[in-house]
Structure 1
Amino acid sequence: ALAAAAGGWWVTRRDLSLSWRDAQRVFQDDGRPEDHAPPVEAAAEDRLRALAKANVLPYTAAAAHDDPFVGHGEKLKDVVWHPIDVSQPADDPARPGHKLTIKPFDAVDLHTFVAREMGNISGLEGLRARNRLYVSGDHLPYLADELLESRLGRPRAQIDPDLVRTGLIRSGAGMRTYLSLERISDGGRVVVSVHMRARLHHPSLSWEVMVFVIPPPAARYHTVTTLPTQGFDRVRTLLGGTNGIWWRCLTGSWSRAARRRRDRRARARALERARRDIFKRNVLYDHGATDSIRERVSDGDQLLFGDSADAQDYLQRLQGGILIATERFLKSHHIDSASFDSTKQIINANPTYNFNGIVQGNAFGHQNVVQNTPGQPGAGGAQPAPGGQWAQGKGTP
């Protein structure tokens, strides 16, 4: 019994030491983290590469009641901007008193222009801009040939760009195309994303805009930064960590193994029921995602002052970039900008305020701003809200 206990302690210490070493190597190495892990099967590697340039995202049908942007974090704003009159031609600078001829365009042209120009206009290096079709998971069987690898397979990460364009021009109840703009802060602590859709119904144009922020990962993912790397401190910390967990690891191994077997059987039964529903009962199976790994490990309590400042900077740059790109597009198509100028003043009229520690920019639409009287806390400001491939760029949440 004593030898078994000593062997269990030694195995636990060795496993903990190897885990620390691997984690510290990933954290300190300048290379890519994935280079420290052996490659998986070729089909999985190909799918991971396809996900980096995904132009379709299926979301679970339950998310349709709120928004389709599962996995993008906390929603800061959902707004439709005031419409812009795009029916009036601009004045001809070469011939006073005459008007230019409007160049015809559609929403696809506008999305393509904004996606191509946003990186340079906003000055955000590494900005990801991609038109993406968001489709309800229970709608995938209607377009199984285009969206599913097989009747029982996974949803595809990339589809025909024509289908993405169709989701912009003729949207259905469960299919819409958005231009997704995503900026990841240095070190990957904060992910800011803006999803926008042009609503072009002549003679007016408006933008539907949604803003999301994913906070930094939870504290347990930063533990590696506090682990000693060498010397007596490492030995002492390693021995203390081993003494604190080895008996629990040793005595609980049987129950954990039994729980894993039980979970595997439960997943197998659920998969078999889903296959039976698809094949025999012809049930429309929901293939949509519920969240993302990055969102699942995030924790708003880890948001630092610098993270809030980064989020505010990205949002303000994106808001300005959207307005500038839209203005340039309208001018290039010989459209009078008077209506756009009025709408821009309305959009920019509201101040900035904090939302759960995350600073929200002003240009994404009207905010529920509470004006305080002099002498009250926060006087002169706003109170925080309650609550807890046609484009350049690459990447997907």
Structure 2
Amino acid sequence: MAARRLPALAQYRTDAVTRLLCAGAHLDEGFARDVDVELTEDRLHATGLSLGIDLVALARHARASVRRTDLRDRRLAQLCAVGVWAAVPAALYGLVAGLSGLALGAGALIVLTYGTAWGLVHRAESAARAAALAVEHGAERPVDLAPDVGAEAEDRLLEQKRANVVPYTASAERTNPFVGSGSKIKEMVWQPIDVSRPADDPAGGGKLVIKPFDAVDLHSFIAREMEHIAGLKGLRARNRLYVIGDHVSYVGPDLLPDRLRRPRAQIPKQLVQAGVMQPGAGMRTYLSLERAGEGGRVIVSMHLRARLQHPSLTWEVAAYGIPPLQQRFYRVHQLPVDGLERWWSLVGFATRTTASALLGAPRTLSRRASSRRTRARALEKWRREIDKRHLRFDYGAVDSLRERVADWKQLGFSERTDSQDFLQRLQQGVLIATERFLKDHNVDTSSYDQAQQVINTHTYTFQGDIHAGNFGAHGTVNQNGAAAQPSANP
């Protein structure tokens, strides 16, 4: 049958969220500094999964923003020292002492200082807006629009993109061990399936011989076939070993080669497979199925673990979701692009903020330096405790960058229905793939057919307020109260 030919509608960019965050780094100084510290600064804690984000691009733009504002504030602090702390007392003394020349000279210096500061603030804001608009509307990739942040940091962030191990903080074990996946929609263990009985020989003459298989084989089959079976193009499937943060050292040097550095994001696949066959002490492997909605605005994920213990198979299933970005990251869409409106907007911004920026620059620089020293002292203290006292440190991530900048209030109707469709397709796809796998291995699927009837009663409600443990009949999520907010960065 011939394909229908229709005009193409405009589509979201696949990297839309990355572009918004990179633009936000230029427009929000606090966000840029938080990102710069988390992604590039020396630390012990693991970085949580940031699904759907190019971390290298974001780190580059955050560093560019930090360098620009640091340069602006250093120059403002110098101006403040000369043009305010020195000139103002001189002007006052000249007025009191009747030295008009001194008063006029000091006054002129104050005016010159303010004018120079105004120019600095205007220039920095103009550069920030230009960078934000370039990354949001430009044709180039965001990663190519800012200078690199060093090979070591970027290599680590690229490794994070392909992470097959996730250390999570011990406290999350009681609430949300799947750090980086967002808010919990549902957790369950599906009905057991008897996998001990061989199927009937279709040619007659008795039973077929069951082909040996293990949980690793089942995980691999699901990962390989799910995109096609579920009809979800772009589905990402990856086995990951989830490890409680204070158990990281038990995995060995493949995960923690240096106890005084953060753990790695990739380990040999044999260790990941070991977590499928038999969970370790505070560590087990899940098959993570992740699907992003249009433009990556919403991400849904399903974490599966096959519990294969003769004579039965059960699936441990956890579904999670991440909503769109907070409203503040859409500011770039309201920026004037050119002409008189852009000029007037920049003039107004500089006029409103120059005085506070000039007078506050020394305090701002001092506060930043104090914050760096505090972080450095805390890091040194922990390293000393680990090295000298052999402290069992919690290396786990608390959450992820993508989770913290999300807001359930921004979830729209189409995103909600698309996400429910994704989850239903994933559930049905796992069931179909499981049945095919069992049939391929000559297992009688009559027990599967019975279990499927029970499993298919599970539904998923991807609605604004999702609370852990707040489930109604058949696992549907009850809707009551305000939207769940992302957790704060530790």
Alignment pair present for 1:77 and 2:172: no
- 2:222 — aligned with what? 114
Deviations 1:247-274 (A, max 9, x none): 2322222221111111111111111111
Deviations 1:310-365 (A, max 9, x none): 2112112211211111111111111111111111111212555453267xxxxxxx
- Distance 1:354-1:149 versus aligned 2 partners, 3 A rule: closer
Q: Match of 1:288, SS?
A: coil
Alignment pair present for 1:34 and 2:143: yes
| In structure 2, distance between residues paired with 1:126 and 1:53 | 15
Q: Which amino acid aligns with 2:260?
A: L
Shift of 1:140: 1.6
Deviations 1:38-77 (A, max 9, x none): 1222122221221121111111111112232112111101
- 1:279 — aligned with what? 387
Alignment pair present for 1:13 and 2:122: yes
Q: Which amino acid aligns with 2:315?
A: W
Q: Match of 1:289, SS?
A: coil
| In structure 2, distance between residues paired with 1:241 and 1:327 | 63
TM-score of the aligned structures, taking structure 2 as reference length: 0.72
| In structure 1, distance between residues paired with 2:460 and 2:393 | 43
Q: Which amino acid aligns with 1:43?
A: E
| In structure 2, distance between residues paired with 1:152 and 1:353 | 43
TM-score of the aligned structures, taking structure 1 as reference length: 0.88
- Distance 1:176-1:351 versus aligned 2 partners, 3 A rule: closer
User: Which shifted more, 149-158 or 245-254?
Assistant: 245-254
Name the structure, 1 or 2, with higher relative contact order (CA <8 Å, separation 6+): 1
- 2:365 — aligned with what? 257
Shift of 1:165: 1.0
- Select 2:305's aligned residue among 176, 181, 197: 197
| In structure 2, distance between residues paired with 1:334 and 1:387 | 50
| In structure 2, distance between residues paired with 1:246 and 1:344 | 66
| Contact preservation (8 Å) 2:471, 2:478 | no
- 2:174 — aligned with what? 65
Alignment pair present for 1:368 and 2:472: yes
Q: Which amino acid aligns with 1:230?
A: D
| In structure 1, distance between residues paired with 2:428 and 2:166 | 27
- Distance 1:28-1:113 versus aligned 2 partners, 3 A rule: same
Unaligned runs of 5+ in 2: 1-109, 484-490
Deviations 1:93-136 (A, max 9, x none): 111x6211111111000000000111111222221110000111
Shift of 1:244: 3.1
| In structure 1, distance between residues paired with 2:430 and 2:119 | 59
Instruction: Determine which structure has more spread, i.e. the larger CA radius of gyration.
Output: 2
- Distance 1:93-1:215 versus aligned 2 partners, 3 A rule: same
Q: Which amino acid aligns with 1:133?
A: L
- 2:435 — aligned with what? 327
Shift of 1:211: 0.7
How many percent identity over aligned positions?
51
Query: Number of aligned pairs?
Result: 370
- Distance 1:201-1:300 versus aligned 2 partners, 3 A rule: same
Unaligned runs of 5+ in 1: 359-365, 371-380, 389-397
Shift of 1:221: 0.8
Q: Match of 2:384, SS?
A: helix
Alignment pair present for 1:43 and 2:138: no
- Select 2:375's aligned residue among 262, 267, 274: 267
